[in-house]
Amino acid sequence: MTLRPTTLWASLSGLLLATVFASLAVGAVSVSPTELVAWMLGGPLERSQELVLSTIRLPRVVLGIAVGASLAVSGALLQGLFRNPLASPALIGVSSGASVGAALAIVLLGTAGALLPVCAFLGGAVATLAALRIGTVRGRTDTASLLLAGIAINAVAGAATGLLVYLYDEAQLRTLTFFSLGSLGGANWSDLTVALPLAAVPVLAIPWLRGPLNALLLGEDEARHLGVDVQRVKALLVAVVCIGVGACVAVSGVIGFVGLAVPHLVRLAVGPNHELVLPGSALLGAGLLVAADTAARTVVAPAELPIGILTTLLGGPFFLWLLLRARGRT
């Protein structure tokens, strides 16, 4: 049974608003709901509360919304391209390439500062371009070849990262470990001004890609007969995913399962129509990541769990449920 669009938008918008409100209110410095509403309307707060909200929690919430929406939409785009619900942004090598870029920055440049996200973004871009180049034969991108190229690049990138581990000292290893597990803890307004335009690219591309992706559901030949430039759509889609996911990994580290599980959940609720799947994935991805970040910084307070651990803990049982559900139908 599929949900009506109005029910979908109301439910996902309500979830996002609730998680944003909870994330701003909950923490070591508590802010009551009435105080939070008054602050949103321009009212005063205690100095400590205002500093925490404006410089720590609000940037984290904005980053969580941007990263969650971008990863989820990127996953939905790739699932539509491959026509496979198990496709994810990691499949084409973006995340593993970004990890190699970050590892090189830590080892060779000895930095965990401003150059780390730049190197991570460049690493993801290089890996994705390599997968696209290998998967393109005689001017056409073959979906199966692109998939296999991504798997091979992931393997090579994983081996390269493992090799670099031997060169780390303890502090560098700790930095890379936290990067590979993901966190929104470093959110600040200066980084957001650079990352947000890039992370928003997959969401902004929805109006141009939802129609061609619906046509691709019928098959590539049928899509061509409907007037879709399939090769151009494939290249544009991979570029959009590379930019969005590369920016997300650069500022938040590697956060797994959002791009894999969220689009699948939305598709189960509303069907395969990308007119609904893509914006629905953006709303659900944003809400879930903000909720996960709130849990990550409060469950073991005053310490903080890497957010990638929580998303993986949620994603693993979800796919076990899918497996059992599929077996029950056979």
Domain span including residue 255: 5-329
What is the predicted pLDDT for the residue at 274?
93
Q: Are 255 and 182 in contact (CB under 8 A)?
A: yes
What is the predicted pLDDT for the residue at 264?
87
Distance CA 161, CA 100 (A): 5
pLDDT digits (tens, 9 = 90+) for 70-111: 999 999 999 998 888 778 888 788 888 888 888 888 777 765
What is the predicted pLDDT for the residue at 151?
87
DSSP sequence for 61-130 = HHHHHHHHHHHHHHHHHHHHHHT-TT--GGGGTHHHHHHHHHHHHHHHS--SSTHHHHHHHHHHHHHHHH
Q: Work out the number of other CB atoms within 10 angstroms of the CB of residue 134.
A: 17
Q: What's the maximum distance between 2 C-alpha atoms anywhere in the chain?
A: 64
What is the predicted pLDDT for the residue at 308?
84
What is the predicted pLDDT for the residue at 61?
95
What CATH number does residue 9 fall under? 1.10.3470.10
Determine the distance from the C-alpha atom of residue 223 to the mean position of all C-alpha atoms in its chain, rounded to a whole number.
28
DSSP sequence for 279-293 = HHHHHHHHHHHHHHH
Cis peptide before 302 (omega within 30 of 0): yes
Q: Work out the number of other CB atoms within 10 angstroms of the CB of residue 116.
A: 24
Q: Work out the number of other CB atoms within 10 angstroms of the CB of residue 155.
A: 12
Within the chain, which residues score under 50 in pLDDT?
none
Distance CA 300, CA 295 (A): 9
Range 60-73 burial, b when 16+ CB lie within 10 A, else e: bbbbbbbbbbbbbb
DSSP sequence for 150-192 = HHHHHHHHHHHHHHHHTT--HHHHHHHHHHHH--STT--HHHH
What is the predicted pLDDT for the residue at 17?
94
What is the predicted pLDDT for the residue at 36?
87
Distance CA 303, CA 194 (A): 28
What is the predicted pLDDT for the residue at 200?
94
Query: What is the model's pTM?
Result: 0.90
Q: Count the domains in the chain.
A: 1
Distance CA 88, CA 77 (A): 9
Range 88-107 burial, b when 16+ CB lie within 10 A, else e: bbbbbbbbbbbbbbbbbbbb
pLDDT digits (tens, 9 = 90+) for 193-210: 888 998 999 999 999 999
What is the predicted pLDDT for the residue at 213?
94
